[in-house]
């Protein structure tokens, strides 16, 4: 079968289970695609072909024995380089962690393996996963396959670039302030940030995370179809006793009216015209699919939530984070911390108490809003994907980036799920929308996402753009 790497994961798994395609054939096709395009984009920074083929052989052997190989039978998946995968360095984009070799898998890697997925390679991320751009001093720069002059997003920039270029059918990413949703937006694919507690997390190779990361950072999938997000979410959500925050919530909640709120300009974001047009277009697609759509001009606080999220993320142990960034010497990480110092430092126990106390109110406000409107559609970012390295250009550019990412930063503070749905291109530059639902209602995000996806052109793998017209 030609170009197996182009197939949706759901279709490929079905072909492998029915023995029309072998897992070995799928793995071989994925490795060939990686070899063909990764040199141009540097999305995958570590892969071991022998291990990939060995995993595929295990899937084929299970099928030959008549066993159920799992819902992701033989599907090649990439893993972000900031979580534990046994035998690999959990670099988190850092020279100082090049020898931090994990002895065990994180829960999400174990869950994907149990579902039959084949681990294709490790994807790049910025140092400390601080930025919406993907460069570091150990693995180098990741390029956007659609246009190398724009960011591939971050911090799961390698994941977004890989899946957009057809390296793997699903990419694992993590998100604390847009790190799944923005790479999906920038690369023209879909990305789901699940509810906090939906997907178990633990990295034995690293110290326990601070409370801000515990209540806001999540793993989740990036893919070229909403259907592939759905099956990968189910696979990733398996129980694991190592995560005390994991919640045994059903993947399908009670039926809700197909009613969506649409907010073009949330909390003073002031999006550019192309972003406004994408949100308006998504609203029309929902209406054509039978949804009731109501435009709203005000939401529960987003800007305040984003400010609290930034303080929890960067302010807690700020001095320790800054010292580590100075040891690493990464310009982007230093720009992130130094540029936010006045917003997040000093940070003490009273600050922490006030933030967490206020969080209860904001979670309640958003829960009530999302009870009235089961789905909210708004911008992912106030601007189209930025020129690469734009945040390090000057202070004005840094501030512009952080302002534009308001929706991405805010939603994790409430632990809510958020979905980026790519909707089209402005020239070669992707654009999309942000779909939000109540806690543990990823099913509603995906339901709306499918309607929006169906109203446009499907996302398909691209060959890296190398210049010209």
Residue 463 within any structural domain of the chain: no
Instruction: Supply the pLDDT for residue 24.
Output: 98
Residue 93 within any structural domain of the chain: yes
What is the pTM assigned to this prediction? 0.98
- Report residue 343 as tokens: 């917003």
CA atoms within 13 A on the CB side of 91: 24
Instruction: Supply the pLDDT for residue 469.
Output: 37
Q: Which of 22, 111, 155, 381 is catalytic?
A: 155
Residue-wise pLDDT for 398-420, tens only, equals 999 999 999 999 999 999 999 99
Q: Are 399 and 155 in contact (CB under 8 A)?
A: no
Residue-wise pLDDT for 173-183, tens only, equals 999 999 999 99
Residue 469 within any structural domain of the chain: no
Residue-wise pLDDT for 446-460, tens only, equals 999 999 999 998 889
**In which residue are the tokens 């691209």 written?**
462
Bridge partner list, 432: 422
Q: Which of 22, 24, 80, 106 is catalytic?
A: 80
Residue 467 within any structural domain of the chain: no
95 belongs to the catalytic site = no
Cα angle at 328 between 83 and 317, to 5 degrees? Answer: 70
Q: What is the CATH number of the domain that holds 111?
A: 3.90.1300.10
User: Structural domain tally of the chain?
Assistant: 1
Asked if pLDDT for residue 468 goes beyond 90, the answer is no
Instruction: Supply the pLDDT for residue 459.
Output: 85
Instruction: Supply the pLDDT for residue 466.
Output: 79
- In angstroms, rounded to a whole number, what is the distance separating the alpha carbons of residues 208 and 264? 38
179 belongs to the catalytic site = yes
175 CB burial (10 A radius; 0-12, 13-18, 19+): buried
The mean pLDDT value for 340-349 works out to 97
- In angstroms, rounded to a whole number, what is the distance separating the alpha carbons of residues 132 and 356? 26
SS3 per residue for the chain: CCCHHHCCHHHHHHHHHCCCCCHHHHHHHHHHHHHHHHHHHCCEEECCHHHHHHHHHHHHHHHHCCCCCCCCCCCEEEEECCCCCCCCECCCCCHHHCCCECCCCCHHHHHHHHCCCEEEEEECCCHHHCCCCCCCCCCCCCCCCCCCCECCCCCCHHHHHHHHCCCCCEEEEEECCCCCHHHHHHHCCEEEECCCCCCCCCCCCCCCCCHHHHHHCEEEEEECCHHHHHHHHHHHCCCCCCCCCCCCCCCCCCCCCCEEEECCCHHHCCCCHHHHHHHHHHHHHHHHCCCEEEECCCCCCCHHHHHHHHHHHHHCCHHHHHHHHHHHCCHHHHHHHHHHHHHHCCCCHHHHHHHHHHHHHHHHHHHHHHHHCCEEEEECCCCCCCECCHHHCCHHHHHHHHHHCHHHHHHHHHCCCEEEEEEEEECCEEEEEEEEECCCCHHHHHHHHHHHHHCCCCCCCCCCCCCCC
Residue-wise pLDDT for 53-98, tens only, equals 999 999 999 999 999 999 999 999 999 999 999 999 999 999 999 9
Residue-wise pLDDT for 149-204, tens only, equals 999 999 999 999 999 999 999 999 999 999 999 999 999 999 999 999 999 999 99
What's the chain's Rg over C-alpha atoms?
20
Instruction: Supply the pLDDT for residue 2.
Output: 72
219 belongs to the catalytic site = no
- In angstroms, rounded to a whole number, what is the distance separating the alpha carbons of residues 392 and 413? 26
Instruction: Supply the pLDDT for residue 183.
Output: 98
Residue 465 within any structural domain of the chain: no
Residue 162 within any structural domain of the chain: yes
- In angstroms, rounded to a whole number, what is the distance separating the alpha carbons of residues 370 and 206? 36
Residue-wise pLDDT for 276-330, tens only, equals 999 999 999 999 999 999 999 999 999 999 999 999 999 999 999 999 999 999 9
Residue 167 within any structural domain of the chain: yes
Residue-wise pLDDT for 20-57, tens only, equals 999 999 999 999 999 999 999 999 999 999 999 999 99
* Alpha-carbon dihedral 347, 350, 352, 355, rounded to 10 degrees: -110
Q: How confident is the model at residue 107 (pLDDT cuts 50, 70, 90)?
A: very high
Residue 363 within any structural domain of the chain: yes
Residue 222 to residues 139, 201, 402, 418, 469, Cα–Cα distance (Å): 21, 17, 23, 12, 28
Residues 6 or more apart whose CB falls under 8 angstroms from that of 70 comprise: 114, 115, 116, 117, 235
Nearest to 8 by CA among 119, 115, 163: 163
User: Which domain covers residue 262, as residue numbers?
Assistant: 4-454
Q: Which of 179, 219, 237, 381 is catalytic?
A: 179
Instruction: Supply the pLDDT for residue 1.
Output: 66
Q: Are 431 and 424 in contact (CB under 8 A)?
A: yes
């Amino acid at each position: 079968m030609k170009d197996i790497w182009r197939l949706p994961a759901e279709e490929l798994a079905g072909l492998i289970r029915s023995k029309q395609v072998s897992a070995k054939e799928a793995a071989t096709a994925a490795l060939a695609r990686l070899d063909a395009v990764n040199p141009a984009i540097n999305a995958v920074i570590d892969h071991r072909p022998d291990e990939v083929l060995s995993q595929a052989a295990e899937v084929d052997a299970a099928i030959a024995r008549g066993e159920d190989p799992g819902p992701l039978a033989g599907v090649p998946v990439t893993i972000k380089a900031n979580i534990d995968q046994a035998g690999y360095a959990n670099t988190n984009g850092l020279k100082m962690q090049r020898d931090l070799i994990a002895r065990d898998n994180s829960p999400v890697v174990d869950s994907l393996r149990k579902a039959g997925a084949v681990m294709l390679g490790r994807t790049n991320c910025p140092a400390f996963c601080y930025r919406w751009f993907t460069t570091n001093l150990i693995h180098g720069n990741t390029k956007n396959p659609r246009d190398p002059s724009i960011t591939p997003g971050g911090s799961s920039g390698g994941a977004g670039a890989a899946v957009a270029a057809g390296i793997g059918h699903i990419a694992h990413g993590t998100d604390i302030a847009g790190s799944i949703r923005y790479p999906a937006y920038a690369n023209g694919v879909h990305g789901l940030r699940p509810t906090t507690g939906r997907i178990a997390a633990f990295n034995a190779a690293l110290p326990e995370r601070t409370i801000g990361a515990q209540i806001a950072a999540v793993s989740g999938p990036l893919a070229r179809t909403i259907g592939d997000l759905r099956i990968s979410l189910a696979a990733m959500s398996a129980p694991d006793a190592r995560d005390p925050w994991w919640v045994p919530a059903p993947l399908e909640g009670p039926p809700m009216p197909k009613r969506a709120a649409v907010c073009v300009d949330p909390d003073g974001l002031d999006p550019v015209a192309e972003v406004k047009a994408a949100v308006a277009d998504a609203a029309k697609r929902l209406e054509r699919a039978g949804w009731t759509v109501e435009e709203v001009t005000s939401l529960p606080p987003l800007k305040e939530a984003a400010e609290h999220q930034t303080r929890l993320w960067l302010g807690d142990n700020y001095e320790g984070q800054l010292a580590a960034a100075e040891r690493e010497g990464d310009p982007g990480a230093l720009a992130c911390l130094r540029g936010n110092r006045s917003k997040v430092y000093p940070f003490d126990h009273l600050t922490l108490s006030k933030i967490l106390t206020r969080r209860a109110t904001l979670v309640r406000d958003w829960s009530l809003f999302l009870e009235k409107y089961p789905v909210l559609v708004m911008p992912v970012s106030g601007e189209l994907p930025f020129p690469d390295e734009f945040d390090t250009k000057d202070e004005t550019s840094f501030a512009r980036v952080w302002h534009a990412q308001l929706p991405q930063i805010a939603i994790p503070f409430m632990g809510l799920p958020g979905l980026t749905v790519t909707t089209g291109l402005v020239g070669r530059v992707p654009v999309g929308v942000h779909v939000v639902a109540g806690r543990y209602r990823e099913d509603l995000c995906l339901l709306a996402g499918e309607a929006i996806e169906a109203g446009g052109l499907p996302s398909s793998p691209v060959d890296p753009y190398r210049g010209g017209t």
